[in-house]
Amino acid sequence: MRPVRVVLAATFLGALALGCSTAPGSGPDAVAEQVAGAAGPPSATETELDAEPRVDADAGPTTVVDGVPMGYRPDAQGAEAAAREFVRATASMVTMAPEAAVAAQRVMAASAAEEDLVASRSSELQNIWGSAGREDLSYWYTPIASRASMRGAEEALAEVWYVGVLRSSLTPGLQTWRTASFRLVWEDDDWRVHEESEVVGPVPTSSLREPPTSTSAEMNSLLEGFEPAWAGAGR
């Protein structure tokens, strides 16, 4: 297969390394504004539809290799499931030891792109650790939406819109909304990253009434006992 040029401009880890502005959080007033004038609770049908999984469970993953969920179906839904898990795995690298992060990146990478992906990811992680430190470092991530389409029998384009929050003793809460794009190739009986890029947004509007929590101590107090909703998020 003809090699594809690797693109790593403005990845989500790079955005964290460079710094993003924090947005005001939402609170009870913001929620009240959103539901004001509503006729009542959602119907049973609406609730059921909202609970439907976006990706077919049979699409994968089926195993874990060096901390990365792998084993996907060779179709568009398998590629979509892979992209969601690859963003999650990349977010988890923030709290991994450097050698573990490199091993995880190698698992996801296509052979033609492996060394470039590893070098870029290692540089991004070093920048994050240099600015945010390693003490009490966490990165909570959740996907909002995703899509994928085939580009031939063994190539797919998959995109994931997600939100993440980076926290450490030096960073009380750094929020980022981004869309990750992956060009995946079917290699060694699984989907691998041959090219990736990211863009900022879309970013939802927050309530202007409430400022962000300003210190790590306040954030830790408010989130005591909470666990990230997306399984495997680094902390």
Sequence letter at residue 72: Y
- pLDDT digits over 125-182, tens only? 999 999 999 998 999 888 989 999 999 999 999 999 999 999 998 888 888 999 999 9
Query: Would you place residue 61 in the very low, low, confident or very high pLDDT band (cuts 50, 70, 90)?
Result: very high
Q: Is the pTM of this model over 0.75?
A: no
Given this model, what pLDDT does residue 208 score? 63
The β-bridge partners of 141 are 164
On whether the CB atoms of residues 162 and 230 are closer than 8 A, the answer is no
- Among residues 222, 193, 203, 207, which one has the least CA distance to residue 15? 203
* Residue with more model confidence, 71 or 170: 71
Query: Would you place residue 229 in the very low, low, confident or very high pLDDT band (cuts 50, 70, 90)?
Result: low
Sequence letter at residue 222: L
Q: Which are the contacts of 179, defined by CB distance < 8 A and separation ≥ 6?
A: 159, 160, 161, 162, 198, 199, 201, 202
Residue 54 has pLDDT above 60, yes or no: no
- pLDDT digits over 190-210, tens only? 999 999 999 998 988 776 666
What letters, b where the CB count within 10 A reaches 16 and e where it falls short, cover 44-81?
Answer: eeeeeeeeeeebeeebbbeeeebebbbbbbbbbbbbbb
On whether the CB atoms of residues 171 and 21 are closer than 8 A, the answer is no
Given this model, what pLDDT does residue 38 score? 39
- pLDDT digits over 76-118, tens only? 999 999 999 999 999 999 999 999 999 999 999 999 999 999 9
On whether the CB atoms of residues 175 and 165 are closer than 8 A, the answer is yes
